[in-house]
């Protein structure tokens, strides 16, 4: 196999926001996750120091919050100030104490050093409530909500630039779901009010790959939108928690770009691809496990929908296979950086997240190691790559069908601020090395940073680190040099980089 690229193949500069994360009020993501007042490992504000550091180490650029399905019956005003009001969260069917609200979220983002990105309630909420939230966050002193923020001890506006109208409002599982016809108008009206409070904000709205939904949304709301949000989880296991085997995972890697292509195609057809970018603001290979919750079926007990969620915390589920998929997806959004400007791994902490917390420590799962590799060693200018003699293998996908897949996935980057190249190479083969010839111009020493683990089932857990980043000196680059990729590995090779 040979890969070719040149400086004339630049796709563009990718947004740093491609490496964003998502946090929802679900199970132990917030409470008992990043926010754990009283825990010895937490700081004076109740945030877990170890989690904050782990997020800083992967340079998290942006965190979407507070949901997810949770947001569709969330009222932000109940969760600020001294008089917090708990409520029964109708999406996840648990009591929400509201001790973590907007002020705590902003404080958390400041500690991490990332942009806040707030998703509003377009389920049971009103457009006025959305614009009041913008007022609370962004107005200097005008209006009762800006004054309320000041009264709550925050004299300076929070300057929240990124806002989403709604979450998955097309889905019948979502509280206050909307019809195709309703959605475009609601978004336009919400956007109008929000932008009348602060015209500098950037707005996105819940969407998917459905043509009717998107055409109607864009017909009504395109003038107000900077983004369009899409979500995807490839392994559809929210009712079963029976993860796909490795062959099926490889099948998923064939489809990392499908939704992007469809939405980009529509944006192009409507002449909007320069104005509106894709926010892939929830993605993960595995769906979260929460069986029997989005139902009105008689006789489902609280135990049946609540207790199974603990199974998301089984660290052995997050293997080198998940890392392979994660790297392929990051390559995909890098390659599509002309249209994808933001993405959020769902979620950051606990559930299917890249960081797991327990009372006395954290586990950095295999997917965390991938984020570490990409955010620390890849460049920001993405190049197109051409292949010669790409090897393929035939796998059985999750639908039981045969599929041909490429054995390696590649992304080549340059750095806007220094010389050198960084090449991400994923060898999907389970047990064999893959040899790749690098047929392009570059110069200097080659250094590799990689993860592979013993097998595709390797995982990290408390007292067990099987998937760790290792380094190697590969030698001096020459055009046509062959690199041998370890079985089931993700490797970033830097060429001529001074670090």
- Residues at the contact surface with ligand AHR, assessed by CB under 6 A: 24, 67-69, 167-168, 238, 282, 287-288, 290
**Residue 46, Cα to own-chain centre: how many angstroms?**
24
Distances (CA, A) of 439 to 3, 4, 380, 447, 482: 6, 5, 21, 17, 9
Q: How far is the CB of 63 from ligand AHR (least distance, A)?
A: 15
Distance linking the first and last C-alpha atoms of the chain: 29
387 burial (CB, 10 Å; 0-12 / 13-18 / 19+) is middle
Closer CB to ligand AHR, 232 or 326, in the complex: 232
Closer CB to ligand AHR, 91 or 497, in the complex: 91
By beta carbon distance, the residue nearest ligand AHR is: 68
Q: How far is the CB of 205 from ligand AHR (least distance, A)?
A: 14
Closer CB to ligand AHR, 74 or 477, in the complex: 74
Q: How far is the CB of 178 from ligand AHR (least distance, A)?
A: 15
Closer CB to ligand AHR, 10 or 75, in the complex: 75
Closer CB to ligand AHR, 278 or 373, in the complex: 278
The residue among 459, 403, 382 whose CA lies nearest residue 254 is 403
DSSP for residue 289: -
Q: Is 453 left (phi over 0), alpha (psi -120 to 50) or beta?
A: left
Tell me how far apart the alpha carbons of residues 292 and 32 are, in angstroms, rounded to a whole number. 23
Q: How far is the CB of 146 from ligand AHR (least distance, A)?
A: 29
Q: How far is the CB of 4 from ligand AHR (least distance, A)?
A: 39
Closer CB to ligand AHR, 26 or 136, in the complex: 26
- Give residue for tokens 């529509």: 266
Q: How far is the CB of 97 from ligand AHR (least distance, A)?
A: 19
Closer CB to ligand AHR, 111 or 292, in the complex: 292
Closer CB to ligand AHR, 104 or 287, in the complex: 287
Closer CB to ligand AHR, 147 or 238, in the complex: 238
Q: How far is the CB of 58 from ligand AHR (least distance, A)?
A: 21
Tell me how far apart the alpha carbons of residues 206 and 213 are, in angstroms, rounded to a whole number. 10
**Helices and strands counted in the chain (H then E):** 11, 27
Q: How far is the CB of 355 from ligand AHR (least distance, A)?
A: 17
By the 8 A CB rule, do 227 and 204 touch?
A: yes
Q: How far is the CB of 168 from ligand AHR (least distance, A)?
A: 5
Closer CB to ligand AHR, 258 or 482, in the complex: 258
362: CB partners within 8 A, 6+ apart: 48, 50, 51, 54, 355, 356
**What is the CA angle 376-381-384, rounded to 5?**
115
Tell me how far apart the alpha carbons of residues 168 and 175 are, in angstroms, rounded to a whole number. 10
Which alpha helices (H) appear in 176-317, and where do they start and end? 180-197, 211-221, 246-253, 258-269, 302-306
Tell me how far apart the alpha carbons of residues 44 and 41 are, in angstroms, rounded to a whole number. 10
Q: How far is the CB of 84 from ligand AHR (least distance, A)?
A: 22
Tell me how far apart the alpha carbons of residues 166 and 338 are, in angstroms, rounded to a whole number. 25
Q: Which residues is 7 bridged to in the sheet? A: none
Q: How far is the CB of 24 from ligand AHR (least distance, A)?
A: 5
Tell me how far apart the alpha carbons of residues 225 and 202 are, in angstroms, rounded to a whole number. 7
By the 8 A CB rule, do 227 and 342 touch?
A: yes
Whether the bond between 66 and the residue before it is cis, its omega within 30 degrees of 0, is yes
Closer CB to ligand AHR, 46 or 166, in the complex: 166
């Amino acid at each position: 196999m040979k890969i070719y690229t040149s400086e004339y193949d630049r796709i563009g500069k990718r947004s740093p926001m491609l490496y964003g994360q998502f946090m929802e009020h679900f199970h132990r993501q917030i409470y008992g996750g990043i926010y754990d007042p009283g825990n010895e490992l937490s700081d004076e504000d109740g945030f877990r120091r170890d989690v904050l550091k782990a997020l800083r180490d992967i340079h998290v650029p942006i965190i979407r919050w507070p949901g997810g399905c949770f947001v569709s019956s969330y009222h932000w005003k109940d969760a600020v100030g001294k008089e917090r009001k708990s409520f029964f969260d109708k999406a996840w069917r648990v009591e929400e104490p509201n001790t973590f609200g907007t002020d705590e979220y902003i404080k958390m983002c400041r500690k991490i050093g990332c942009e806040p990105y707030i998703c509003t309630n377009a389920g049971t909420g009103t457009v006025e409530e959305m614009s009041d939230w913008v007022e609370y966050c962004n107005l200097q002193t005008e209006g009762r909500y800006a004054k309320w923020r000041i009264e709550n001890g925050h004299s300076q506006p929070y300057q929240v630039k990124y806002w989403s109208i709604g979450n998955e409002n097309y889905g019948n599982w979502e509280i206050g779901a909307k019809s195709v016809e309703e959605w475009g108008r609601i978004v336009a009206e919400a956007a109008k009010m929000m932008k009348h409070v602060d015209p500098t904000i950037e707005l996105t709205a819940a969407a998917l790959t459905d043509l009717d939904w998107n055409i109607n949304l864009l017909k009504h709301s395109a003038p107000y939108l900077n983004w369009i949000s899409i979500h995807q989880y490839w392994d559809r296991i929210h009712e079963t928690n029976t993860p796909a085997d490795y062959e099926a995972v490889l099948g998923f890697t064939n489809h990392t770009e499908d939704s992007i292509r469809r939405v980009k195609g529509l944006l192009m057809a409507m002449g909007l691809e320069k104005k509106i970018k894709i926010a892939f603001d929830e993605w993960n290979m595995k769906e979260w496990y929460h069986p029997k919750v989005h139902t009105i079926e008689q006789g489902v007990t609280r135990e049946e929908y609540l207790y199974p969620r603990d199974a998301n915390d089984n660290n052995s589920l997050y293997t080198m296979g998940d890392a392979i998929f994660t790297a392929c997806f990051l390559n995909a959004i890098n390659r599509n950086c002309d249209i994808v400007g933001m993405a959020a791994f769902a979620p950051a902490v606990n559930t299917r997240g890249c960081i797991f917390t327990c009372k006395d420590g954290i586990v950095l799962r295999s997917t965390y190691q991938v984020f570490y590799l990409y955010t620390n060693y890849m460049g920001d200018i993405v190049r197109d790559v051409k292949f010669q003699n790409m090897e393929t293998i035939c796998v059985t996908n999750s639908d039981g069908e045969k599929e041909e897949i490429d054995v390696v996935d590649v992304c080549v980057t340059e750095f806007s601020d220094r010389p050198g190249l960084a090449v991400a190479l994923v060898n999907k083969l389970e047990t064999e090395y893959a040899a790749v010839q690098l047929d392009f111009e570059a110069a200097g020493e080659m250094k590799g940073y990689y993860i592979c683990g013993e097998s595709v089932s390797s995982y990290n857990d408390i007292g067990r680190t099987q998937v760790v980043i290792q380094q190697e000196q590969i030698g001096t680059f020459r055009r046509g040099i062959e690199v041998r990729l370890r079985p089931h590995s993700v490797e970033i090779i830097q060429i001529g980089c001074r670090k």
